[in-house]
Structures are given as structure tokens and as C-alpha cells.
Amino acid sequence: MTDEGEGPVASTSGLARRLIALALLTASGGLLASACADNESSLFVRMRMARTEDCDVTCGPGEGFWTEDSVDAAYSGSHSATLLVGNQIVQRGDSDVLRTETSRVQLYEAEVRVAYIEGDPVTEGFVVPIAGLVDPGTGDDAGYNCTEVLLLDGATMDRLRGEAAELRRDIEVVATVVVRGRTLGGQEIETAEWSYPVRVCFGCSRCVDTSPPTCCASSASDECQDVDDVEGTCPGQRGPQDCRNLGMTCAEYIERVRP
């Protein structure tokens, strides 16, 4: 009788243990998924900051921003943008108990992938160092700071330059960025992917030669000293180019850099 009773009891006990283990595993999986989601939402890229007429940048969620960049690859070997990064981690510092603030995030690198507007990759992705310290938010408001991120590196720009010159039209690409940082408490954290469109052309900007054109290469002579300056544009926008910044006439320069 005893042997017959112990079999079912042992079997039921083993089944219960397995069910409990499965429940714990499911619960822990849910916690891990939640932690990953929180990690990507705690740090985020909000927008690409605009530049003023003086090409300065003011950081803040209420400042101006751009929704697209336009780059002339004939005059740019690479392209960077100033991104506004937000930090939603809860403040942990408390001066009453001498507890330091560990929720500030030190930004240290960005991973960038560039793809054509249709979705195909342009080149392999790259990782670049960045800098910036983002304070934690207060209440329901995130803390913010800016960081400069290379969107198109030299290899990517070289390829786009060749395609734009050959096709004689804009090449539309999307730069997708993941920003990584580390809290002062030692926690690794990164943003979700943030994507930004960039148009690349070759020689589409207006280039201005001086009068006489010999002043392009040298402005030492008396006839070149009173030549008016050409008002340029900020990185991320297309605008007029001054031949004196190129050291030669516009035509000579374009022929030199043409792929």
C-alpha cells in the first residue's frame, strides 16, 4: 500500500516543481524584456539641432531643428550633425544623506549605418567616438545635452560622391544612429535607433569666382584686396562657395575632385 501511494505523490511533486520553474523562467524573461525596453527609452535622440546664421548651435528641446540635411560632396569629405540627446533616468542623488548623483550619462560612442532611401546599405556601418554629459531629468521632464555625431564618414562620402557625379542627381540616403553612454553609476545604456535623411549631390552648389579670376589662387595683389567676400552657408546646407577657399577657380577645382 505504501509503495502504491508514494508513486503518485512523487510524480505530482515533480510536476509541481517543473511548473513552478517554468513560471519563474517566464517571469524572469518578462523582466529581462522590460529591462531592455526601459534601457532604450531611458536614453534617446530627440532631434538634429539647427544652426543659426552664424553657424552656432543652441541645445534644448525648444530650439530650432532640421528635418533633413543637404550636402555637396564636391566640397565635403565627410558630414557631421549636432544631435540632442535626452536622459529620462530617475535622479538618485541626495545631499541629505551624502549620496552622489549616479544617473548622469557620459556619452562615449555612436554606431552609424547608412542606407539608400530604398533600404539597401551604402557601405558597412561604423562606430565613432562622441562626447557629452547628459544630466537626469527633473519630474516628468528629461535632461538634455548635445553631441556631435559623424553621419557620413569618408568611405561613405567617397562612394556617394562618385554616384552623384555619375548620375548627375541627388543621392538620397538615411543615416541610422545608436548613441551609447554609461551612467556615473557604471550602467551601460544606449538609445533606440534614430534615423535622419541626407541628400548628397556633386557640384550642385553655386561656386563664385572672383573678378579677376586670378584672385582665386592668390589675393596678394592690390587688385584682389577689395574683392567682396562670398557669404557661405553652414554645414548641412548647400550654398555658395568662394573660390578663394578652394585656392583655384571653381572649374579647376571641380575637375580636380571629379571622381
Taking the C-alpha atoms of residue 36 and residue 58, their distance in angstroms, rounded to an integer, is 31
Quick check: 9 pLDDT over 80?
A: no
Confidence of residue 100 (pLDDT cuts 50, 70, 90): low
**pLDDT tens digit string along 111-162?**
999 999 999 999 999 999 999 999 998 878 999 999 999 999 999 999 999 9
Taking the C-alpha atoms of residue 128 and residue 179, their distance in angstroms, rounded to an integer, is 10
Mean pLDDT of 44-58: 94
Neighbouring residues of 5: CB distance < 8 A, sequence distance ≥ 6: none
User: Which of 16-20, 86-90, 246-250 is most confident?
Assistant: 246-250
**pLDDT tens digit string along 61-97?**
999 999 999 999 999 999 999 999 999 997 654 444 4
Contacts 24+ apart (CB under 8 A), 139-143: 142/44, 142/86, 142/87, 142/88, 143/86, 143/87, 143/104
Taking the C-alpha atoms of residue 191 and residue 181, their distance in angstroms, rounded to an integer, is 9
Mean pLDDT of 234-253: 94
Taking the C-alpha atoms of residue 156 and residue 176, their distance in angstroms, rounded to an integer, is 13
Neighbouring residues of 66: CB distance < 8 A, sequence distance ≥ 6: 48, 49, 50, 236
Give the SS3 label for residue 248.
coil
Q: Which residues in the chain are classed under CATH 2.60.40?
A: 45-201
Quick check: 245 pLDDT over 50?
A: yes
Is the distance from CB of 87 to CB of 136 less than 8 angstroms?
yes
Q: Which helix (H) or strand (E) holds 256?
A: helix 250-257
* Phi and psi torsions of 231, nearest 5°: -75, 115
In the structure, how many helices (H) and strands (E) does the chain have?
A: 4, 13
Is the distance from CB of 87 to CB of 153 less than 8 angstroms?
no
**pLDDT tens digit string along 174-228?**
999 999 999 998 999 999 999 999 999 999 999 999 999 999 998 888 889 888 8
Give me the chain's average pLDDT, please. 85
The domain 45-201: what is its CATH number?
2.60.40
pLDDT at 92: 57
pLDDT at 5: 44
Q: Which helix (H) or strand (E) holds 131?
A: none
